[in-house]
A and B are shown apart, each in its own frame.
Chain A
Amino acid sequence: AQSVTQLDSQVPVFEEAPVELRCNYSSSVSVYLFWYVQYPNQGLQLLLKYLSGSTLVKGINGFEAEFNKSQTSFHLRKPSVHISDTAEYFCAVNHGSSNTGKLIFGQGTTLQVKP
């Protein structure tokens, strides 16, 4: 069965600094990987997704992630963060061997951007 582990519960960082949010997955079949962002009192919004093809995926708001099959990781990165990036970030994997829509989410990482 698939599972997702987000290695950091909180990541504090200063504005304009780079950031990496770590995500590891466990799966014995093909994976489809996602990063979502949740701003306070809002629903989740898709940042980016990996379905196939290039292992470097670019998303919205300047975020990117790299799929690493050998390390079973899908870490999220941004070269320079803004105060407005303060939010909860969730990594997710699709359950099963095809893209069925059934997502398994990690526990989330709180990104705290300080001025």
Chain B
Amino acid sequence: EAGVAQSPRYKIIEKRQSVAFWCNPISGHATLYWYQQILGQGPKLLIQFQNNGVVDDSQLPKDRFSAERLKGVDSTLKIQPAKLEDSAVYLCASSLDATDTQYFGPGTRLTVL
């Protein structure tokens, strides 16, 4: 069974530019999560989807971050404009439902210069 796929794996941009990350969850998984992991810290949940609806986005900086999961499968996370403090690894995870084990992708490492 294929795992959670993310692309790109690495991205370097300058501040004030925009960037987008893509996630393809495990087939059949209804719940999808985006986490931000700053160097030396644990992952922090940014947004949680159940199918194509948002369950929790309380920690998403909505002035610059946006995410969508239009057809309840793939998801994109966008940052516009990026700031230096957005440098981090962005992890996508999925689970059958919210109570089930979360499976993580390899992450996208973003460097903002």
Task: Please report A residues at the B interface, Cβ cutoff 8 Å.
Answer: 4, 41-46, 49, 90, 92, 99-108
Contact = CB atoms under 8 A, between A and B. Distances in A.
Nearest to A45: B104
Given A90-B43, A92-B42, A107-B40, A101 B91 contact: no
Interface of B: 4, 31, 33, 40-45, 48, 55-56, 91, 93, 95, 97-107
Of residues A43, A45, A103, which shows the largest number of chain B Cβ atoms within 10 Å of its Cβ? A43
A46 B42 contact: no
A99 B48 CA distance: 14
Contact of A44 (B43, B95, B100): B43
A97 to B, nearest CB: 13
A105 B43 contact: yes
30 contacts: A4-B42, A41-B106, A42-B106, A43-B4, A43-B91, A43-B104, A44-B43, A44-B104, A46-B102, A46-B103, A49-B101, A92-B42, A100-B55, A101-B33, A101-B95, A101-B99, A101-B100, A101-B102, A102-B45, A102-B48, A103-B45, A103-B102, A104-B45, A105-B42, A105-B43, A106-B42, A107-B40, A107-B41, A108-B41, A108-B42
A41 B9 CA distance: 10
Contacts of A104: 45
